[in-house]
Amino acid sequence: MAGTSSGMSSGMSSGSHNSGIFGLVESMGHEQVVFCHDKASGLKAIIGIHDTTLGPALGGTRMWDYASDEDALVDVLRLSRGMTYKAACAGLNLGGGKAVIIGDAKKIKSEALFRAFGRFVNSLGGRYITAEDVNINVNDIEQVAAETRFVTGISSRPGGSGDPSPVTAWGVYSGIRAAVKHRLGKDSLHGMRVAVQGVGAVGKYLCGYLAKDMVKLVVTDVDPAKVDYAVKEFGATAVRDTDIYSADVDVFAPCALGAIINDETIPLLKAKIVAGGANNQLLNEERHGSALVERNILYAPDYVINAAGLINVYNELIGYNAEVARKQAGNIYHTLSSVFADADKRGIPTGKASDLFAERRIASVRGVAGLRNTVTNQSWSPEWAKL
């Protein structure tokens, strides 16, 4: 793990590693960071492997025109660490990883670049498994896959897991049920009111599941056609953009953007629960997590409630079965119930409780050191590398 040090060979000056790149890597707990450069194709990429205690590090590759290399490094470290927590809470045998390719997606894409990146991924022998992310489409990832088998989430492949949105939405629906049980003491959603912000892929399926439970829906979207669909299909009431925050509902389900729970929106909320599929819902994890507690609003941590997208691609790795994936997504109900109970017991925000939930699982598996594979020194099976 990052942070361990070995003796220095003679003739080299020893110094503090608490600053610079290693300081950052140590503070975030990463095992390995790989800088990838290929002059011919112009590839500049960074792969972050945060923690492989539970299994190989899985996470998508994003392409972004970062203002600086430091910004790219911080982003990949942050995102890969987030994947460790997400996989751990979801009960998956996966660690956390992520990759960033530096550059303007409109200018730098080429077959050579993606194949060069694929060779770097392959060189890691399965410690990192990649997938699509921001600005990387299925054609790009197919080119990566020409060089490595450590790629997943290619929905068009035979045996592919397909569109993850229905499974993600099922996980969110299960999480809303857990939150309603915990906060409002109700086993059924019948007659509840839920506001859905964003009725795109996840939001639309979520509305479908909720409508079957006779939930009264309030929706908004910047795309009027999507709003019309929700109104016609699910009997939803449409509201204009920011009116979604003050809607008179039991649950607010963000399914569009990040950072929407902030100083401006928290005072507007009438909902007693925030539980939705969007990533990075809190502008500031600590401050806004606490602000929701102060207002007695129960927050379902985003990376726990929306983990079924990851559950879906994990199932592709082990042999896709839609029923199994959906059942695992439904288990988000139980995970969130435990997280809520623990947060109450400790008097901490739910986001902190879910972090502890993940850390406990990783620590318990790390603790079985005696059973480590003596060849690979990994606690997960080297069979992963033969995928």
Q: Which residues lie near ligand NAD (CB under 6 A)?
A: 164-165, 168, 197-203, 220-223, 226, 241, 255-257, 277-279, 306, 309
For residue 48, the cross-strand partners are 33, 98
Closer CB to ligand NAD, 197 or 378, in the complex: 197
- Quote the least distance from Cβ 340 to ligand NAD, whole Å: 20
CA dist 182 and 11 (Å) reads 62
- Quote the least distance from Cβ 204 to ligand NAD, whole Å: 8
Crossing angle (nearest 10°) for helices 332-346 and 322-330: 20
CA dihedral 123, 126, 127, 133 (to 10 degrees): 90
Closer CB to ligand NAD, 122 or 155, in the complex: 155
Contact 48, 97 (CB under 8 A): yes
- Quote the least distance from Cβ 277 to ligand NAD, whole Å: 4
N residues, the chain: 387
CA dist 333 and 181 (Å) reads 10
Closer CB to ligand NAD, 42 or 200, in the complex: 200
Closer CB to ligand NAD, 44 or 326, in the complex: 326
For the record, the structure tokens of 209 come out as 């599941």
Shortest-Cβ-distance residue relative to ligand NAD: 200
- Quote the least distance from Cβ 208 to ligand NAD, whole Å: 13
Nearest to 317, CA basis, from 115, 147, 128 = 128
Contact 329, 308 (CB under 8 A): yes
CA dihedral 33, 83, 133, 24 (to 10 degrees): -30
The single residue of 44, 98, 109, 204 carrying the catalytic annotation is 98
Closer CB to ligand NAD, 126 or 153, in the complex: 153
Is 98 a residue of the active site? yes
Is 199 in a helix, a strand, or coil?
coil
Closer CB to ligand NAD, 30 or 86, in the complex: 86
What's the first-to-final CA gap in the chain, in angstroms? 25
- Quote the least distance from Cβ 325 to ligand NAD, whole Å: 12
Quick count: other Cβ atoms within 10 Å of Cβ 283? 16
- Quote the least distance from Cβ 279 to ligand NAD, whole Å: 4
CA distances from 263 to 260, 276, 284, 290, 363 (A): 9, 19, 9, 12, 35
- Quote the least distance from Cβ 43 to ligand NAD, whole Å: 25
Q: Parallel, antiparallel, or unpaired for β 32-38 and 43-51?
A: antiparallel
Nearest to 222, CA basis, from 239, 205, 235 = 239
CA dist 174 and 315 (Å) reads 19
Closer CB to ligand NAD, 222 or 363, in the complex: 222
The catalytic residue positions are 98
